[in-house]
Amino acid sequence: MYVTTKPTLYLIDGLNLVRSFLWQFARTEEDVTEEFLDFLEAVSQDEKYCMHEYRVVFDGAYRPVGPLYRAGVHIVFSEQDTADDYIYQEAYFLAQQGRRVIAVTSDRDLQARLKDIGVKALFCQKFYNSLKISCR
């Protein structure tokens, strides 16, 4: 199991997750994004995962993705920054505050930067598959 049982804030690189492996199974990027967010909302309400917070970060400005708050899921847009920079800055701040935070990204450069500040990172597919397996 890759998802911890300790209350954790997961900073998820939204487009990285969608484009890294999920998009190949859907008709459009919008479809797979919607399906992933619906799935994550259901996961956040499951008794095994309800202690976690899931913050999904998308590059750029706002675009329609449905509700920005869904149970334990909060959707944000990086605006002028990249999602990588947003995740790094947020992870650094939260770690300094003593919050347990894990980033979800397949971007090796971001993973290395996070490791330098003591923040763990999970590859997108490992994170997603661990949730799918546990929800069965």
Q: How confident is the model at residue 29 (pLDDT cuts 50, 70, 90)?
A: confident
User: Given 3-state DSSP classes, what are the helix, strand and coil percentages for the chain, each rounded to the nearest 5?
Assistant: 45, 20, 35
pLDDT tens per residue across span 98-127: 999 999 999 999 999 999 999 999 998 888
Q: What pLDDT score does 23 carry?
A: 63
User: Collapsing DSSP states into helix, strand and coil, what is residue 50?
Assistant: coil
Walk me through the domains of the chain, giving residue ranges and CATH numbers: 9-134 (3.40.50.1010)
Residues in the chain: 136
Does pTM top 0.85 for this prediction? yes
Residue 20 has what DSSP assignment?
I
Q: Encoding tokens for residue 8? A: 């954790």
pLDDT tens per residue across span 39-55: 888 888 888 888 899 99
